[in-house]
């Protein structure tokens, strides 16, 4: 059992970075070096304590956020592993919501990559203090100074190395600590590192780097620069304290380096996390008084409050809720208020996780992260609090899933089973959304990317034993007419016994767009007896709803029953309905019928560099470009009207076109007539489907 830690000794740190940069490997190392794990797990061998789900092991990449809690010196580190793969960004955002600081891991081999920049921006928006770890220093073609320069150009001069590598590529051996002013190396053929003098050949580099560091921290202790220039001794603590302030302030971003694979620099990184990153005690959080807009602050010493930042759902293991305690303590086996739902919830056992291994804890301290099961009614984003001191924290925002597919069960008749299972998965993944599309009666599943949906499919098979197929969503086309006409329908059967007879004459006129369908009658002299008129109206509604041209509902049509005839014995409601259908089918085809399609307003946001390409591809989608404007965060926004039929898989196209930097949103605008070429294709498709 872990010992109890004070809030000031906790560090909640999320590891972020482009896929494959080595986050999981670093945390496997951390679990090993802190004595939490007996052996060092490896992503490549499938023995990682973090990449532990079957899907993760198969593909050697992280898909879900994980908690790797470990003890290091006087601190408890709650290290959070996250996926770099863009489809799983929701998991990374969840973990950011639980953290007080971020380590952005960058491969020294690749430098800044697309997701590096994205995670920097996300962490910045959340005001998370940040530091960098340049990993893979052992690989060929690494360039520490080159990557540092790149980071400083992109993210500002607050990016400042606190270490320099000793050796590079295969000869990478250790690091110079610019605060302690010593070297630390792992000699060849030895497992443990030793402290050394700074190698002489690095003297110049160290001198320059030390000056950059002192200049950077000088804002937080202005005596330092003076001392430095006068050649006075500066203690590690003085620099460290100023650095800590600068990081907490969101102004300084120290750079560490090492190799997760060669196991160099990992302990130094843990030391850095413990020494320089803020603790929960350094922070107050802001919520609202439930049911009002009034803002309130909470610090660790206040009454209990927590935020549910992640939920996992599994038919065998059950449901787990990950809590970040913001204030007060949480004891196992107590009742708390779910402020979001208003329900009282019974908290059972509490656990901490070392990757896949769970350990129970009796009390969670303010600022800590714990996991609890069986909270069936608590959702990600809920606030839990002491019922006598409720507070509500704002639920985090997630990107809107824009990749939409129609979902059907693989086996007929398994609709309910499938949709119930997806609903469970939806609770665990805020970037999945399932809805019923009224216009087409299809169930639409929206996600971030194809990999996410593929993994969902695998999980549904393995955990819920239900298969799904994803298809192109149907478009909610409509039909209408352009001119007025008259039509006659006669339904007559006289084959022995009781016959059938219905006969109607209809006027069919177009209405204004959006006015809907209307039925009237101007029967004079009982040519159609009163009791059959409702059947004619019903027949009109049903025939129009089923579509005539291509099976899509006919809209904005007025039908007037003005004449007809009947048979005293053979006429019935059914025969009048049939006569109406016959008349309408003829009439609509005679009234210049057209197909209507939904047009959406689309806004695409991306860096300016991509705007030309975006407009080009929108133009190939029959778009009407409305204009471009400058948006948030230095992005350009392209606004256009685009037929919905052309937007299938646009989420995927846009991602590859902009290297993942573009996002888009769409909103239904209005219906418009489908151009003839496209309309013929839709009509042909409908005929073929019959």
Ligand X SMILES: Nc1nc2c(ncn2[C@@H]2O[C@H](COP(=O)(O)OP(=O)(O)OP(=O)(O)O)[C@@H](O)[C@H]2O)c(=O)[nH]1
Binding residues for ligand X (CB under 6 A): 17, 19-25, 43-44, 61-62, 83-85, 135-136, 138-139, 259-261
CA distances from 389 to 82, 281, 298, 327 (A): 33, 20, 11, 11
Q: How many CA atoms lie within 13 A of 118 on its CB side?
A: 25
DSSP state of 269: H
How far is the C-alpha of 490 from the C-alpha of 494, rounded, in Å?
A: 13
* 512 CB-near residues (< 8 Å, 6+ apart): 556
Least CB distance from residue 104 to ligand X, whole Å? 11
Residue number with CB closer to Mg ion (24 or 142): 24
Residue number with CB closer to Mg ion (41 or 165): 41
The SS3 call for residue 412 is coil
Residue number with CB closer to ligand X (113 or 644): 113
* Residue 21 binding: pick among ligand X, Mg ion, none (C-beta 5-8 Å cut-off by kind): ligand X
* Residue 646 binding: pick among ligand X, Mg ion, none (C-beta 5-8 Å cut-off by kind): none
Measured in whole angstroms, how far is the alpha carbon of residue 644 from the centre of its chain?
22
Are residues 533 and 521 in contact, defined by beta-carbon separation less than 8 angstroms? yes
Least CB distance from residue 61 to ligand X, whole Å? 3
* Residue 87 binding: pick among Mg ion, ligand X, none (C-beta 5-8 Å cut-off by kind): none
Least CB distance from residue 614 to ligand X, whole Å? 27
Least CB distance from residue 74 to Mg ion, whole Å? 28
Least CB distance from residue 60 to Mg ion, whole Å? 8
Residue number with CB closer to Mg ion (84 or 502): 84
Least CB distance from residue 49 to Mg ion, whole Å? 12
Exposed, middle or buried: residue 135 (CB in 10 Å: 0-12, 13-18, 19+)?
buried
HEC string of 299-335?
Answer: CCCCCCEEEEEEEEEECCCEEEEEEEEEECCEECCEE
Least CB distance from residue 24 to Mg ion, whole Å? 3
Least CB distance from residue 83 to Mg ion, whole Å? 6
Q: How does 100-126 read in b/e, with b if 16+ C-beta sit within 10 Å?
A: bbbbbbbbbbbbbbbbbbbbbebbeee
The SS3 call for residue 401 is coil
Residue number with CB closer to Mg ion (20 or 578): 20
Site string for Mg ion, 538-577 (x = CB under 5 A): ----------------------------------------
Residue number with CB closer to ligand X (167 or 467): 167
Name residue, tokens 């049939």. Answer: 578
Site string for Mg ion, 479-498 (x = CB under 5 A): --------------------
* Residue 138 binding: pick among Mg ion, ligand X, none (C-beta 5-8 Å cut-off by kind): ligand X
* Residue 85 binding: pick among ligand X, Mg ion, none (C-beta 5-8 Å cut-off by kind): ligand X
Which residue sits closest to ligand X, CB atoms considered? 84
Residue number with CB closer to Mg ion (104 or 361): 104
Site string for Mg ion, 302-341 (x = CB under 5 A): ----------------------------------------
218-257 residues near Mg ion, rule: CB under 5 A? none
Residue number with CB closer to Mg ion (25 or 443): 25
Residue number with CB closer to ligand X (113 or 442): 113
CB atoms within 10 A of CB 171: 10
Site string for Mg ion, 6-45 (x = CB under 5 A): -----------------xx---------------------
Residue number with CB closer to Mg ion (23 or 139): 23
Least CB distance from residue 37 to Mg ion, whole Å? 16
The SS3 call for residue 679 is helix
How far is the C-alpha of 316 from the C-alpha of 31, rounded, in Å?
A: 27
Least CB distance from residue 116 to Mg ion, whole Å? 14
Are residues 198 and 181 in contact, defined by beta-carbon separation less than 8 angstroms? yes
* Residue 44 binding: pick among ligand X, Mg ion, none (C-beta 5-8 Å cut-off by kind): ligand X
* Residue 136 binding: pick among Mg ion, ligand X, none (C-beta 5-8 Å cut-off by kind): ligand X
Are residues 578 and 502 in contact, defined by beta-carbon separation less than 8 angstroms? yes
Least CB distance from residue 616 to ligand X, whole Å? 32
CA distances from 532 to 280, 501, 570, 575, 582 (A): 76, 11, 12, 9, 16
How far is the C-alpha of 86 from the C-alpha of 90, rounded, in Å?
A: 9
Q: Is the dihedral of CA 382, 384, 385, 388 positive or negative?
A: positive
Exposed, middle or buried: residue 204 (CB in 10 Å: 0-12, 13-18, 19+)?
exposed
Residue number with CB closer to Mg ion (96 or 638): 96
Are residues 105 and 16 in contact, defined by beta-carbon separation less than 8 angstroms? yes
DSSP string, 487-529: EEEEEEE-SSSS-EEEEEEEEEEE--TTS--EEEE---TTSS-
Least CB distance from residue 403 to ligand X, whole Å? 20
Residue number with CB closer to Mg ion (26 or 645): 26
Binding-residue total with Mg ion (CB under 5 A): 3
Residue number with CB closer to ligand X (372 or 452): 452
* Residue 17 binding: pick among Mg ion, ligand X, none (C-beta 5-8 Å cut-off by kind): ligand X
Q: How does 555-591 read in b/e, with b if 16+ C-beta sit within 10 Å?
A: bbbbbbbbbbebeeeebbeebbbbbbbbbbebbbeeb
Least CB distance from residue 85 to ligand X, whole Å? 5
Exposed, middle or buried: residue 144 (CB in 10 Å: 0-12, 13-18, 19+)?
buried
* Residue 52 binding: pick among ligand X, Mg ion, none (C-beta 5-8 Å cut-off by kind): none
Are residues 19 and 85 in contact, defined by beta-carbon separation less than 8 angstroms? yes
Least CB distance from residue 652 to ligand X, whole Å? 19
Counted residue by residue, the chain has a size of 690
Least CB distance from residue 317 to ligand X, whole Å? 22
Tokens of 634: 């230095």
Q: Are strands 383-385 and 101-107 parallel, antiparallel or unpaired?
A: unpaired
The SS3 call for residue 68 is strand
40-99 residues near Mg ion, rule: CB under 5 A? 62
Residue number with CB closer to ligand X (22 or 489): 22
* Residue 22 binding: pick among Mg ion, ligand X, none (C-beta 5-8 Å cut-off by kind): ligand X
Residue number with CB closer to ligand X (259 or 452): 259
* Residue 20 binding: pick among Mg ion, ligand X, none (C-beta 5-8 Å cut-off by kind): ligand X
Residue number with CB closer to Mg ion (24 or 578): 24
Helical H runs in 524-629?
533-546, 573-590, 611-619
* Residue 193 binding: pick among Mg ion, ligand X, none (C-beta 5-8 Å cut-off by kind): none
Tokens of 366: 């303010």
Q: How many CA atoms lie within 13 A of 494 on its CB side?
A: 8
Least CB distance from residue 81 to Mg ion, whole Å? 6
Contacting positions for Mg ion (CB under 5 A): 23-24, 62
């Amino acid at each position: 059992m872990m010992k109890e830690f004070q809030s000031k000794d906790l560090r909640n740190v999320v590891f972020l970075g482009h896929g494959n940069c080595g986050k999981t490997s670093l945390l496997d190392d951390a679990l090993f070096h802190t004595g939490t794990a007996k052996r060092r797990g490896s992503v490549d061998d499938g023995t990682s304590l973090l990449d532990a789900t079957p899907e993760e092991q198969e593909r050697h990449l992280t898909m879900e956020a994980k908690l790797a809690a470990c003890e290091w010196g006087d601190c408890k580190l709650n290290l959070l592993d996250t996926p770099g793969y863009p489809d799983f960004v929701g998991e990374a955002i969840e973990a950011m919501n639980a953290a007080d600081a971020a380590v952005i891991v960058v491969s020294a081999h690749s430098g800044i990559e697309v997701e590096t920049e994205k995670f920097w921006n996300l962490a910045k928006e959340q005001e998370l203090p940040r530091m960098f770890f340049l990993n893979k220093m052992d690989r060929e073609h690494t360039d520490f100074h080159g990557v540092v320069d790149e980071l400083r150009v992109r993210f500002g001069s607050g990016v400042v190395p606190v270490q320099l590598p000793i050796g590079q590529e295969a000869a990478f051996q250790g690091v110079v600590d610019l605060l302690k002013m010593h070297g630390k190396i792992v000699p060849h053929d030895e497992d443990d590192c030793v402290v050394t003098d700074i190698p002489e050949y690095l003297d110049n580099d160290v001198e320059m780097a030390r000056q950059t560091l002192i200049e950077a921290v000088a804002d937080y202790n202005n005596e330092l620069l003076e001392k430095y220039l006068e050649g006075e001794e500066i203690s590690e603590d003085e620099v460290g304290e100023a650095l800590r302030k600068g990081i907490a302030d969101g102004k300084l971003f120290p750079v560490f380096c090492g190799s997760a694979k060669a196991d160099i620099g990992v302990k130094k990184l843990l030391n850095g996390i413990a020494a320089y990153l803020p603790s929960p005690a350094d922070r107050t959080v802001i919520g609202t008084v439930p049911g009002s807009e009034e803002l309130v602050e909470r610090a660790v010493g206040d009454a209990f409050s927590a935020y549910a930042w992640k939920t996992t759902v599994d038919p065998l293991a059950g449901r787990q809720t990950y809590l970040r305690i913001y204030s007060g303590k949480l004891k196992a086996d107590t009742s708390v208020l779910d402020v979001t739902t208003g329900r009282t919830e019974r908290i059972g056992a509490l656990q901490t996780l070392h990757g896949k291994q769970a350990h129970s804890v009796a009390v969670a301290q303010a600022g800590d992260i714990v996991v609890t099961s069986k909270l069936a009614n608590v959702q990600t984003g809920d606030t839990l609090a002491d019922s006598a001191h409720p507070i509500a924290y704002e639920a985090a925002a997630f990107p809107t899933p824009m990749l939409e597919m129609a979902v059907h069960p693989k086996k007929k008749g398994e609709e309910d089973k499938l949709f119930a299972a997806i609903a469970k998965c939806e609770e665990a993944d805020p970037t999945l959304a399932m809805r019923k599309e009224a216009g087409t009666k299809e169930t639409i599943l929206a996600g971030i990317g194809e990999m996410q949906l593929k993994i969902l499919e695998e999980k549904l098979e393995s955990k819920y034993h239900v298969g799904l197929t994803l298809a192109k969503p149907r478009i909610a086309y409509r039909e209408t007419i352009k001119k007025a006409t008259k039509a006659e329908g006669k339904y007559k059967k006289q084959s022995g016994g009781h016959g059938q007879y219905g006969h109607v004459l209809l006027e069919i006129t177009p209405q204004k767009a959006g006015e809907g369908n209307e039925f009237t009658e101007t029967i004079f002299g009982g040519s159609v007896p009163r009791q059959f008129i409702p059947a004619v109206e019903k027949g009109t509604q049903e025939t129009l709803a089923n579509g005539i041209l291509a099976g899509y509902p006919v809209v904005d049509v007025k039908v007037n029953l003005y004449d007809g005839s009947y048979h005293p014995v053979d006429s019935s409601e059914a025969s009048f309905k049939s006569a109406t259908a016959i008349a309408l089918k003829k009439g609509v085809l005679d009234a210049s019928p057209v197909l209507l399609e939904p047009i959406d307003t689309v806004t695409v946001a991306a860096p300016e560099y991509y705007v030309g390409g975006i407009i080009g591809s929108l133009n190939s989608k029959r778009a009407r470009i409305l204009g471009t404007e400058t948006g948030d965060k230095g992005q350009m926004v392209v606004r256009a009207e685009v037929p919905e039929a052309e937007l299938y898989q646009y989420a995927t196209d846009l991602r590859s076109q902009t290297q993942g930097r573009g996002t888009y949103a769409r909103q239904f605008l209005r219906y418009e007539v489908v151009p003839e070429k496209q309309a013929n294709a839709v009509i042909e498709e409908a005929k073929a489907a019959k």
